[in-house]
Homo-oligomer: A and B are copies of this chain.
Amino acid sequence: MVRTRAFDPSTALSRAVDLFSSKGYSETSMEDIVRATGVSRYGIYGTFGNKRELFEQALERYAEGMGKQSFLRLLEPDAALAHIRAIFDERVEDMCNRDENRGCLFIHTAMQLAPDDLETRGVLQKFMKRISKAFAVGLESARERGEVKADLDVKAAGELLTSTMFGLVVLGRTGFDRATLDGIVESTLASLTG
């Protein structure tokens, strides 16, 4: 019975992810989201709750997308170093595609995190640790294949890669040119191979 929903919650959430990851939580207004999704306030609030809850779902979705798009492949045993390189290259590509104005929801969230919001901090930490872990697994494959230094501490290196990846995004956002970003990727990979 009754009227059917005129929008797809999943695609609406995707739009919200785009907005939040480009502008962060506080700079993104519900008005922005209504406009970008084409969904009425009623629909947004009814489906996602309030802004805060929508954000949490967006963060969840963002992490999921990042995993599927980039990090899952690190768990496969083949061509591990190439996969790591690909992840960094994609980030650089993203950053240089100026018209898309891509940001990073993790960095935005980390910076805007209220000191007392332990719950979101925990969620974010979980996602970042997952990234480090994926890097470490990839590095271990690469190590077994002789693609990186035999004595590489893959756990520590995974954390370093995570850190450098975020730094790369910060520099990209600041408008550093592609050559510089590519150079950082190159140095990073070089430090793994010794």
Residues of A near any B CB (own CB < 8 A): 23-24, 26-27, 98, 101, 103-104, 106-108, 110-113, 115, 121-122, 124-125, 128, 153, 156-157, 159-160, 162-168, 170-171, 173-176, 180, 183-184, 186-188, 191, 194
Contacts and interface: CB of A to CB of B under 8 A. Distances in A.
| Chain A binding surface SS class | helix
Contacts of A170: 106-107, 110-111, 163, 166-167, 170
Nearest to A127: B174
11 contacts: A27-B112, A106-B170, A110-B170, A111-B111, A111-B173, A121-B175, A156-B187, A159-B171, A163-B168, A167-B170, A191-B191
A180 to B, nearest CB: 6
Q: Number of copies of this chain in the oligomer?
A: 2
Given A27-B26, A107-B170, A175-B121, A153 B187 contact: yes
A171 to B, nearest CB: 6
- Determine which residue in A107, A124, A174, A187 has the highest number of CB atoms from chain B within 10 A of its CB, and name it: A174
B98 A115 contact: yes
A104 B115 CA distance: 14
- Determine which residue in A165, A170, A173, A175 has the highest number of CB atoms from chain B within 10 A of its CB, and name it: A170
Nearest to A100: B115
A4 B96 CA distance: 51
A194 B180 CA distance: 22
Closest 8 CB pairs of A and B: A163-B167, A191-B191, A167-B167, A166-B167, A160-B187, A166-B170, A110-B173, A110-B174
A125 to B, nearest CB: 5
